[in-house]
Every structure is written in C-alpha cells, then in structure tokens.
Amino acid sequence: MKQSVLVIGHADADGHLIAEQVRRNLSLIDTFDVSVVVDPARTKDHKSWLKLDEITEIEAADIVFFVDLMFAPMSFDDEAKALVSFVNRHSDTQFFLIDHHPLPLRKLAAADNLRVMYRPDVFECAVGPRSGMMVVAALCEGQGAKVADIRMHAHDVLALGMRRAAALGGNLPGEKLLTLLQFDCWSGLARLGEDDRRHHFLPRGRRPADRPYSAALRQLDETAEDLIAKRGRAGARVVRQKPGSVAMSYDFEVGRARYEVEAVGHRARVSNVSADARDLETIVTVLEVAALSLTTHPGATFSRARLIAEARRFAGEDLDLQEEDINIVLQKQSFLKRAGRELCMK
C-alpha cells in the first residue's frame, strides 16, 4: 500500500536543492508516493511555522519532511509552539524535521510524532545518498570549506546560477525551479551562472520587478513552462536537457554523482552508478529514515534488529534487506555511529 509523502522546503537556492535531493531519495522506496512543496509565498522564511495551515497539502500526507526551514533566534519560542500544536493536531501523520540551523530541540520534544535532526553541514542536510546537488547547496550557503574535498568549478558556477534562479521577485522560485531540477536542466542553470552580472542586480537577494530578464533567464522560464505543460499532458515523459553550447560541459550528472566516505574527513565521488548500486541507495535511504524515526531524543540508541524492523515498517516486508547489504551500509554510511552494542544517529 502506497504512503503519501510530502517534502516541504525553504524557497531559497539551497532549499530547492535539498528538497529535490530528499524527493529523489525517498522516491526510491516503492511504497512512497512523494511530492514537494517549495513556495515563495508559503515557505520563504521562518514565519512558515506560524501559518502551516496554509500548506493544505499536509492534510493528505501520511509522512511529512520539513527541510531547511529555520527557526528565528528572536521568535523561536512562538514558532516552536506553533509547530508542536500543529503536529499534535495531526496525530496520525509522522513528521520529520531536518535543518542546518540550530533548533529548539527541547521545545519540539513535546510532539510525540515529530522527529528532529540538526545537521549544521548543509551537505548532510538530507536523507539517503548525497549527490552533487548537495555540494551546490553547500556553496549556496557559503559552506565551501566544508565540501572542499569534492568541490569542482562547475559546482561554483551552478551555485551562482541557483542563487540567481531562486531570487525572490523572479518567476522561477517554487514549482518552476523544482521542475528544472527534477529534469536535470543543469546546462540552463550553468548558462545563468555564467551570465553577465549586470543582468542580476539582486539587492538583499531579491530581483527588482522593473529589471528585464536576461536571455538565459528567459530561456529557463520557457523551459520550465514547457516541462510543466508536457508533464501535465497524460503523464508525458520528458527527456532530460542536453548540455548545449555552454563554455564548459556541465553534463557531468550533477544529480546522479554520489559520494562515499573513504576515510575520516574524506569523501570520494562515485561515478557510473549501476543498477545494483541504486538498489543499495534504496536501502541506505530507508535505513536512514528508520534511524531518524527511532531517534526520539538526541543521542537515543537502538539495536540493529530494531533498525531493520523500523525500515520494514516504512518500506514494507518486500524490502530485500540482505546481511551483506546492511554490512556495506554500516561501513559506508555517514548518518550512524556505534554506541556500545547499539547504534545512534551522528
């Protein structure tokens, strides 16, 4: 039986990327029907917590993931109370909250069906495997030093393109930009990153209404509208965009590149992900969701058997959890650590 899963993200550059990464990973789980809400009106800042009733998509969801939605240092008390009250009114829904900003953990613990994870590194602010999108997300938030071991020049260009595309006041933030990411339109975003800066005067991150769009921005807007229209016509399959005539090739699979932990503090890119590896990605994702579900408070521990049982609760008994796969996950993952004979989230 399918479960309706909703991902809700912040309407800024890294928020779009994180929401799409989480959507992709959760979609690997066959029992999950995943949708995303990133809205420049409803999820643009921390005030989202005070108006969750406006995100009506939550009513139809069995599981909700809040990603990259911060709590303001000056008003977190009211925001935490609003979230707890909302979650308690939706007792049949499982809520997860993952953010790279500090969280009011003690106040949020009042909601039994809410699991919270604070991950200060933007690259880690997701569930499941991290792709090149999370490298770009980290750069969008000024965390270049934290991804220096895997950073490429193309990531920097795409980060600039993402910041320009996500600027409030423009036409792309929300459904259009999410659609461009979903269909891997990296070449168009790269063109935007290489665009002349005079076309992108963004005071306080906003695009002035009286300034015309550049050719690169207009093309992205037209591409997004075309993709949305095609997707809406009887579920038509849309082919991913080709790199085109940009100064350098961006067809290096930003959304498909994967990073494995080879040693403490060092990650390596994994190229040419195979079908078998994709099956493993599904296992990684569902185990991380299960671990987060068992983390009822910071530092909570659980056994390997409980982790597997919780994973099967989410993904169904048909999930093929083999001993050798679990061993690989436990050796290569970045979200668990050992606590004696048990495990806990890092």
Q: Please, are residues 287 and 307 in contact by the beta-carbon 8 Å criterion?
A: yes
Q: Could you give the CA distance from residue 239 to residue 104 in angstroms, rounded to a whole number? A: 43
Closest CA to 151 of 259, 249, 9, 294: 259
pLDDT value of residue 41: 94
pLDDT value of residue 168: 93
How far the first Cα of the chain sits from its last, in Å, is 31
pLDDT value of residue 200: 92
pLDDT value of residue 231: 82
Q: Please, are residues 67 and 19 in contact by the beta-carbon 8 Å criterion?
A: yes
Q: Could you give the CA distance from residue 91 to residue 108 in angstroms, rounded to a whole number? A: 15
CA separation, residue 224 to residues 15, 148, 191, 244 (Å): 18, 31, 15, 16
Q: What is the mean pLDDT of each run of 10 residues along the chain (346 residues)?
A: 94 97 94 96 90 97 97 95 98 97 95 96 94 96 95 94 96 96 93 93 88 94 94 58 43 72 62 55 90 93 92 81 77 84 91
The whole-model pTM stands at 0.90
